[in-house]
Homo-oligomer: A and B are copies of this chain.
Amino acid sequence: MNRNSGKVDTFKVNSELLDQFREAADRLDSALLSELTMNLHPADIAEVLSHLDKDAVAFSLDRLDDEFAADVLMEVDEDIRRDYLETSTPKEIAVELIENLDSDDAADVLNELSAEVREEVISEIEDEEQVMDIVDLLKYQEGTAGALMGKEMVVVNENWSVMHSVREMRRQAEEIDHIYTIYVIDDDEKLLGRLPLKKLLTTNLNARMADIYIPETRYVKTSTTQEDVTSAMEKYDLVALPVVDLAGRLVGRITIDDVVDVMREEAEKDYQLASGLSEDVEQTDSIWQQMRARLPWLVIGVAGSMLSAILIGGYEEAIKTLPALAFFIPLITATGGNVGVQSSAIIVQGLANKSLSTTGILPKLGKELRQSSLNGLLISVLAMGLSILAFNDVNLGITISLALFIVILFSSLTGTFIPLLLEKMKIDPALATGPFITTMNDITGLFIYFIVGQIVYSTL
């Protein structure tokens, strides 16, 4: 039975399965391991390995055949891969892993190694063509189309006949998982166009490629950012996208599965930043890893709150006279925070899915002002009503509602402006969401609140 069998929604890691893997590792029982892994997809095994300790992981990977183990290694988290590869020699990494990978995966793995080990591994790769492909890919900067693309694709020359192309294609296709499209180039390797696979099945075998290819093709340059690649493939429903160098030569292609991974990573990154996590972290990560991701924003929050404390401290006498002023501190900070996060989230999401640009900041602020005036008015009236009802003090009600209105306007404007500004400065705008905006709005909101209080009580 093939390893890829079974319907997709059956696999779930369970403690029984984990125990069997552990038992196989403890007893060095290769037969049991083969039995356990036989019907599993590499991604399933990777999921299992994420629950096992280093020794059991190493035992499992060592006993799988190289090609399959390579697939599993590309599916596990980076820290598991790093731990495993640290125990391998450069020659083992080259022969057992790299030579079984597509060029883009190979380059990714090599990028995770130290410069020294990387060089040693490359010198051990036997396939000359693969070495050239990999060295070529390694030169592109992370986050660009060049770093995302693979070298595996079917390429034919415009002067070839269909028959020659089909023969050539069969040869090239051997090592490619999905073909999608055949790319047509000229003698200078410049990208001319493409030919859908199904057209090959319906064309006269003697026709020249130049006569039948579709001349236009969407493509990106090696320097295009991965965000632009993602949004283009998503927008135009592409499954593969050719990549050309500055001279227009076809140098690689990006496939949809890579882009799906990028999309997931980007969405998770934005979500984490909005939630006050400074790095990628999972519940299954160690307590120390979690601390590294969680502590920074907590500390910034504490520092900000200390400034708030000092600010409120300046109004100690006012609070002594009128303690009710203190009752509404959470109202001011919570509302300012909520409004600011809403505003910045709308901007960050618009920038992420490309429905928004950083041009025309003023009209955007104008619209936000109209929108937040409306919300501010309703919220202020509601708060005035509730506070007078609860505490029976009209001056207090006026102070609260007036301060709240100003705080809502202010928070929505900064929430809109800051992510747009960060984007313009080429800083991830998602940094502006979450604890940053709430901490900043806490301080300014309280400042506004006490100033308004001072004015209301000294004039009314």
Contact = CB atoms under 8 A, between A and B. Distances in A.
Interface of A: 1-2, 4-9, 12, 41, 43, 47, 50, 166, 169-170, 173, 178-180, 197-198, 200-202, 214-216, 218-221, 224, 228, 232-239, 241, 256-257, 259-261, 263-264, 267-268, 270-272, 274-277, 281-284, 287, 290-291, 294-295, 297-299, 301-306, 308-310, 312-313, 316, 319-320, 323-324, 326-331, 333-335, 337-339, 341-342, 344-347, 349-350, 353, 355-357, 364, 367, 370-371, 374-375, 378-379, 382-383, 386-387, 390-391, 433-435, 438-439, 442, 446
A234 B169 CA distance: 28
Interface majority SS on A: helix, strand, loop or mixed? helix
A234 B367 contact: no
B345 A277 contact: yes
Contacts of A330: 305, 308-309, 312, 329-330, 333, 442, 446
Contacts of A270: 271
Given A200-B201, A284-B356, A342 B275 contact: yes
Q: List the number of copies, as a whole number.
A: 2
A302 B349 contact: no
B356 A283 contact: yes
Contacts of A374: 287, 291
18 contacts: A8-B228, A8-B232, A8-B241, A9-B232, A166-B201, A197-B198, A237-B260, A267-B267, A272-B345, A277-B345, A282-B355, A283-B350, A283-B367, A284-B355, A308-B330, A309-B330, A316-B327, A330-B330
> Which 9 A-B pairs have CB atoms at the shortest separation, nearest pair first?
A275-B345, A5-B216, A267-B267, A305-B331, A326-B326, A8-B232, A309-B327, A308-B330, A237-B257
Contacts of A4: 216, 218
Contacts of A357: 12
Nearest to A326: B326
A93 to B, nearest CB: 23
A28 B357 CA distance: 29
B371 A290 contact: yes
A7 B339 contact: no
Contacts of A371: 287, 290-291, 294
A206 to B, nearest CB: 17
A6 B256 contact: no
Given A275-B433, A356-B284, A386-B302, A216 B1 contact: yes
A200 to B, nearest CB: 7
A237 B44 CA distance: 12
Contacts of A375: 291, 294-295, 298
A264 B263 contact: yes
Contacts of A166: 201
A126 B107 CA distance: 53
